Amino acid sequence: MVKDKDNIFEMQTECNFNIKSTKNHPFLTKKGMILLKDLEKNKEIAINTFKGVNYNQRIDRKKAILSKLFGYLLGDGYVNISKNKGYISFYGQKEDLEEIQKDLKGLGFNSNLISRERNHKINTKYGIKEFSAKNYELYNRSKEFAFLLKELGMQLGNKTNQKFLLPDWIMNGEIYVKRLFLAGFFGAELSSPSTHTKTGFYSPILSQNKNTKLKNNAREFLLQITKLLEEFGVKVNKISEDKELVNLRFRLIISAQEDNLLNLYQKIGYEYNKKRKRLADIACLYILKKKQIQKERSEIANKIKEYKMKGFKLKELYSNFSGKVNKRFIERHYYEKCNQRINLDFISFEEFKRLKLKEYEKYGCIFDTIKSIVKLNKQEKVYDFTVKDNHNFIANNFIVSNCGVRILSTSVSVKEFLKKREQLIEEVYKNVPSGLGSKGRIKVTKDLLMEVLKKGTKWAVESGYGIKEDIQRTEEYGCMPKADPSVISDTALKRGMPQLGSLGSGNHFLEVQQVDNIFDEKIAKAFGINKENVTVMIHCGSRGLGHQVASDYIKLMEDKFGFKDLADRELINAPINSDLGQKYYGAMSAAVNFAFANRQMIMHWVRDSFKNVFGDVKIDLIYDVAHNVAKMEKHKIDNKIKEVCLHRKGATRSFGPGNESLPEVYQKTGVPVLIPGSMGTSSYIMVGTKKAEEISFGSTAHGAGRIMSRHSALKQFRGETIKKELHERGIEVKSGSYAGLAEEAPGVYKDIESVIEVSHNVGLASKVAKVVPLCVIKG
């Protein structure tokens, strides 16, 4: 728990990254390192996080994916149309092709990944080079996709022997389109970051083969690439060409000047090539470290010259700069007019790369070293909830997607359920839309959505998706009172309209569970938990609408307050009582109401599914609670009751008996605390405590929490294997993709048992029942 009114700390790393926190030890690991860049950020197309270019455009996700795919196909792909059939092939490394496969799925196209041993022949100016290798290929046979690519301007068939220029939708497109096209193309064609000396980088090279007759076309195409690069501040040194046996080989040579490389790797980078992407991240960190040291040495050199002009003798300067530079450095800059260069003992890029690749393997990210932590003379009221080492950033931070959990009791026995488990899984999967970009079952107009955003669960029940008792068993009675749909953008509304009543993807799930153990019979009975019968747990949020609300207000706050002093642009904030702060609170509250209604509709269709399979069964809502939300609550602070804006990000309520915020049905027991584990592990139903209100603002952890990034999970786990292992343990899984299963493998989360024991033993919540999965439905 952070309860610190006066102490705000600013931390600076060796590469001049600044981060503000309410602790003097934020994000410290045992090695004294700070997380610099998490590869997970590249999973979503976070275009607006790059510096130096106006990326604040509305991003069409499908157009963004097409831009990447178009670029990669242009380099390492093949497209053709024959007899009204489409042939699209991508070539590359297995892990990269799996990422492409996932993006194709997001566009609605299936694909198959195969491997084969192939013999290769390459014509070079030295003769024919032959070799064999295991190659991976991702292929799609959709004529619709092939015709779409053709209409977008993609070459069909052999690219070497055809004219080609970039289409207008790229050359004159939005900046994110240009960046993603280049990054996809570079993932296939641009050379990897490497050095020719200890610290000096080679010029990145883009190579293209073209028939001799198409020389002028090839040069014009590379001129287009040069113009695109210039928009990102990336300079080209020159274009060269070499005659090979049949074709000409053209090389676009990019400047190796360090600021130019930073622009190239940070603003554009590589897509669909994780190896080069990692190397680019490492190269950027290396260059930044090198530049920082050179800056410090340059400042010392200038100081030496300044002291000399003031009449100080050489010997007098030795002790002044002792430990910072050696004597030879002092002498050179005292007597000579010489340029500043990096110190000889500075680590080589090859050694630095070796160390950082180990970090990637272990953590899925790279680290920078903390240089200093300084207390700032500021006063701010900060109430962030912290579990162990997971700290939320300071003051008024964003709550993005308003996720929550609800759990249902049923009259269906475990024995009866197991007999018809497969039938129920198919019925629920049919009735409850799930997966990336999934759409709801009903047609939602703007007027109807505005009502949903204002009324939440009440709208759903009034519309026939539930019963009145459901409202009584939902946090805030299913409606945030200060919701203001009028301050939500049209873009967010458009994203929300088709998604109302859908589960989504990622870590969202629907699970049928067996009660494995009851720790408190009295409370369990009050909650309606019966050890003989199955329960159902639903985890999802406000879908794309909630995400867009956060994106919109991040932009508005950036425009008003700026972000240059923030470690990450998404740490932007506004005072809660400001006009902008109040508008965001109203918009966020409306998104929470969307999430309440969304889970209510899903529960309604779960009830229908159970009745279709098991007949007239009873299914009751135990409770629905949010775990990513900010709320105005009254808490005792400095022996006074104060109303504060309490942020629960990765946390959930844990109010004890008698709290005025509780629904009447749980006034005597305390609030049900729902803590899901990972797919394939147990989850827990706990109850809130008075002690939690005293020591943690009535809060506890909301789940197991990840210990591995999705990037690392995809490297370590295979969805097919996960599904098989869970089946062998008696857990059936239905999912929209194997990649989704790999990302959510049980091994990527903390041990739920340890999390629960800490919460129980400290008094943040008390154990009531343990439930284990019988079947899981994932997006």
By the 10 Å C-beta count (0-12 exposed, 13-18 middle, 19+ buried), 494 is classed as middle
Segment 560-584 mean pLDDT: 80
Given this model, what pLDDT does residue 30 score?
28
In SS3 terms, 254-295 reads as ECCCHHHHHHHHHHHCCCCCHHHHHHHHHHHHHHHHHHHHHH
Type of residue numbered 104:
L
pLDDT in tens, 50-89: 233 333 344 577 888 999 999 999 999 999 998 878 899 9
Given this model, what pLDDT does residue 352 score?
92
Question: How would residue 708 be classed by pLDDT, with cut points 50, 70 and 90?
Answer: confident
Phi, psi at residue 321, to the nearest 5°?
Answer: -110, 15
What SS3 class is residue 569?
helix
Least confident of 307-316, 560-569, 629-638, 698-707: 560-569
Q: Is the pLDDT of residue 181 over 50?
A: yes
Q: Is the pLDDT of residue 121 over 80?
A: no
CB half-sphere exposure, 591, CA atoms < 13 A = 37
Concatenate the DSSP letters of all residues of 4-48 into one string. Answer: -SSEEEEEEETT--EEEESSSSTT--TT-EEEEEEGGGGTTT-GG
**β-strands 7-13, 127-140: how paired?**
unpaired
Given this model, what pLDDT does residue 119 score?
78
pLDDT in tens, 518-529: 999 999 999 999
Structure tokens at 157: 């068939």
Please tell me which residue in 547, 702, 727, 760 is annotated as part of the active site: 702
Given this model, what pLDDT does residue 43 score?
28
Rounded to the nearest 10°, the torsion over CA 239, 244, 248, 253 is -20
If one counts every other C-beta atom within 10 angstroms of the C-beta of residue 552, the result is 18
End-to-end CA distance of the chain: 34
Q: To which H or E segment does residue 555 belong? A: helix 543-561
Segment 537-547 mean pLDDT: 87
- Among 747, 745, 714, 708, CA closest to 97: 714
Rounded to the nearest 10°, the torsion over CA 507, 508, 514, 518 is 80
Q: Is the pLDDT of residue 20 over 50?
A: no
Cα 441 to its chain centre, rounded Å, is 27
What SS3 class is residue 466?
coil
Segment 749-777 mean pLDDT: 90
Q: To which H or E segment does residue 131 belong? A: strand 127-140
Question: How would residue 400 be classed by pLDDT, with cut points 50, 70 and 90?
Answer: very low
Which of the pair, 13 or 142, is modelled with greater confidence? 142
**CA geometry: angle 127, 132, 134, nearest 5 deg:** 145
What SS3 class is residue 596?
helix
Given this model, what pLDDT does residue 327 score?
81
The whole-angstrom separation of Cα 495 and Cα 437 is 10
Given this model, what pLDDT does residue 31 score?
29
Concatenate the DSSP letters of all residues of 179-237 into one string. Answer: HHHHHHHHHHHBPPP-BSSSSPBPPPEEEEEEEGGGHHHHHHHHHHHHHHHHTTTPPEE
Q: Are 161 and 80 in contact (CB under 8 A)?
A: no
Specify the DSSP class assigned to residue 703.
S
The whole-angstrom separation of Cα 159 and Cα 148 is 18
Q: To which H or E segment does residue 229 belong? A: helix 215-230
Q: Is the pLDDT of residue 384 over 90?
A: no
The whole-angstrom separation of Cα 235 and Cα 230 is 6
Given this model, what pLDDT does residue 380 score?
46
Q: Are 700 and 765 in contact (CB under 8 A)?
A: yes
Q: Are 706 and 363 in contact (CB under 8 A)?
A: no
pLDDT in tens, 184-201: 999 999 999 999 999 999
Segment 277-289 mean pLDDT: 92
pLDDT in tens, 329-338: 878 878 887 7
pLDDT in tens, 451-502: 999 999 999 999 999 999 999 999 999 999 999 999 999 999 999 998 998 8
Segment 530-536 mean pLDDT: 95
Q: Is the pLDDT of residue 47 over 50?
A: no
Q: Which range, 254-258, 387-391, 634-638, 678-682, has the best average confidence (pLDDT)?
A: 254-258
Segment 299-314 mean pLDDT: 86
Segment 668-689 mean pLDDT: 91
Cα 376 to its chain centre, rounded Å, is 31
The whole-angstrom separation of Cα 761 and Cα 764 is 8
Q: Are 272 and 184 in contact (CB under 8 A)?
A: yes
pTM: 0.53
Q: To which H or E segment does residue 738 belong? A: helix 738-743
Cα 307 to its chain centre, rounded Å, is 51
Q: Are 547 and 401 in contact (CB under 8 A)?
A: yes
The whole-angstrom separation of Cα 199 and Cα 287 is 9
Percent with pLDDT over 90 in the chain: 48
Which of the pair, 143 or 60, is modelled with greater confidence? 143
By the 10 Å C-beta count (0-12 exposed, 13-18 middle, 19+ buried), 419 is classed as exposed
If one counts every other C-beta atom within 10 angstroms of the C-beta of residue 580, the result is 18
Segment 667-694 mean pLDDT: 92
Q: Is the pLDDT of residue 398 over 60?
A: no
Residue spans of alpha helices (H) in 615-718:
690-695, 710-716
Q: To which H or E segment does residue 151 belong? A: helix 143-152
Question: How would residue 269 be classed by pLDDT, with cut points 50, 70 and 90?
Answer: very high
- Cα dihedral across residues 587, 592, 593, 594: positive or negative: positive
Segment 378-388 mean pLDDT: 41
pLDDT in tens, 347-377: 899 999 999 998 888 767 777 776 666 665 6
Q: Is the pLDDT of residue 34 over 50?
A: no
Residue 702: active-site member: yes
Beta-carbon contacts of residue 537 (< 8 Å; ≥ 6 apart): 405, 406, 407, 408, 509, 510, 511, 513, 674, 676, 683, 771
Which of the pair, 246 or 65, is modelled with greater confidence? 65
292-303 in b/e burial notation, b at 16+ Cβ within 10 A?
eebeebeebbee
- Among 419, 331, 383, CA closest to 696: 383
Given this model, what pLDDT does residue 53 score?
35
